[in-house]
Amino acid sequence: MDLTLALVIGVVAIALAFDYTNGFHDAANAIATSVSTRALTPRAALFMAAAMNFIGAHLGTQVAATVGKGIIDAPKGSHGLVIVAAALIGAIAWNLVTWYFGLPSSSSHALIGGLVGAAMASASVVHWDGVVEKVVIPMILSPTIGFGLAALIMIAIYWIFRNSQPGKTNRGFRYSQTVSAAAMALGHGLQDAQKTMGVIFLALTVGGFAAPTDPIPQWVILSAAGAISLGTYAGGWRIMRTLGRRIIALDPPQGFAAETAASTVLYVAAMGFGAPISTTHTITSAIMGVGATKRLSAVRWGVAGNIVTAWILTIPAAALVAAVTYFLLHAIVE
C-alpha cells in the first residue's frame, strides 16, 4: 500500500471519528428540550434523533460542497492529506474539551477552525471570502435569527393559548414536541453530517481519488450518516443538562417554540445558502429567546455567558490545535 492511499484511509477514519464525536457532542441539540420537559424519555429521544440524523444526512450536499471546496485549497498528495488530518484532530480535540465541561460549543466551527489553522500553518490557500460569507456572517446571523424567531413563536403561543387550561396545554405541547424534536434532529443531520462528507471528499480529491467536479460518492454519504447517528445514540448527557435545565427551566410550549425556530433556521441555511451554520448556536440562542419572553431574569445569563465565551474561543482554539498537529504530522510523515 502506497503512502497516499494509506493516508486517505487514515483521514477517512479520523473524519468518521470526528463525525461520531459530533453526534454525541450535539445529541443534546435535538432532544435536550424534549427530555427536560418529559415529552420523551431519554432513550426514546436518542433513538429518534439518531434515526432522523441518518435521514437528514441524505437530504442534500450543498453544505458538503461548501466545506469541501469553499474554505481551503489543500495541495495534492500526502502533504494535503496531512493538512486535512491535522484539521480533523484539532476539531476532535475541541469537541472533547467542551463535552467534558458540558459546554454546547459548535462542532461545525471547530471543524472550520481546524481547516483554517492547518492551512495557515502549511502556508496553503485559505478562501477568506468564503470563510466570511459562509461561516462568519451565518455565525452571527443564525443565533440572532434563532433568538428572535423563537421569541416571536413563543409570544404567538402565549396569545393563542391565553385562555387555555395550563395542564391541558402542556400535555398537548408534549405531543407536539415529538414532532419539533424530530425536525430538529433532521436539521442536525442535514447540516452536520454534510460537513464530514465535505472533509472526506476533500481528502479524496487531494489524494487523487476524485475530481473536484464529481458528486459526493454514495458510500461517503452513508458512512457519514451512520457515524453521526451512532454518535447521537451514544448521547451527550453533560451538554444535555446544560441545554435542558441550566440555561432556563423549560416547559413544553417553550421547548416546542425553541425547536421549531431552530430547525427552521437550519433548513433555510442549508437548503437556501449552503451555509454550514452551528446547530448548537442556533438551538441555544432559541432557548434563550423563549426564556426572555417570560422575563429576562428567567434566563441564567451567567451560564449563557460561559457558553458564548466557548463560542468565541472555538475557531481560534481548534485552529491552534490543528496548527500544532500539522507541524507534528509533517515532521513524522513527510
- Considering only residues 101 and 115, tell me which one the structure prediction assigns the higher pLDDT: 115
pLDDT at residue 300, rounded to an integer: 62
Write the burial class of residue 225 (CB in 10 Å: 0-12 exposed, 13-18 middle, 19+ buried): buried
Return the top range by mean pLDDT from 112-126, 179-193, 304-318. 112-126
The pTM of this model reads 0.85
CA 45 to chain centre: 18
CA angle 100-301-135, nearest 5°?
Answer: 65
Q: What is the DSSP letter of 273?
A: I
Compute the half-sphere exposure of residue 151: CA atoms within 13 Å on the CB side of its CA: 16
Q: Which residues contact 111 (CB under 8 A, 6 or more apart)?
A: 18, 67, 87, 88, 91, 195, 199, 318
pLDDT at residue 296, rounded to an integer: 62
Return the top range by mean pLDDT from 8-17, 210-219, 273-282. 8-17
Collapsing DSSP states into helix, strand and coil, what is residue 125?
Answer: strand
pLDDT at residue 206, rounded to an integer: 93
CB 122 within 8 A of CB 330: yes
Taking the C-alpha atoms of residue 236 and residue 20, their distance in angstroms, rounded to an integer, is: 11
Please give the tally of structural domains in the chain: 1
Taking the C-alpha atoms of residue 23 and residue 259, their distance in angstroms, rounded to an integer, is: 18
Taking the C-alpha atoms of residue 20 and residue 82, their distance in angstroms, rounded to an integer, is: 21
pLDDT tens digits, one per residue of 156-178: 999 999 888 888 888 888 888 88
Taking the C-alpha atoms of residue 6 and residue 278, their distance in angstroms, rounded to an integer, is: 32
pLDDT tens digits, one per residue of 189-240: 888 889 899 999 999 999 999 998 899 999 999 999 999 999 888 765 555 5
Q: Which amino acid is residue 284, in one-letter code?
A: T
Taking the C-alpha atoms of residue 122 and residue 333, their distance in angstroms, rounded to an integer, is: 14
In which domain, by residue range, is 212 found?
Answer: 3-333
Cell numbers representing residue 327 in the block:
507541524
**Per-residue DSSP letters for 144-198?**
HHHHHHHHHHHHHHHHHTTTS-HHHHHHHHHHHHHHHHHHHHHHHIIIIIHHHHH
pLDDT at residue 244, rounded to an integer: 46
Main-chain dihedrals φ then ψ at residue 178, nearest 5 degrees:
-60, -40
Collapsing DSSP states into helix, strand and coil, what is residue 72?
Answer: strand
Mean pLDDT within 106-128: 91
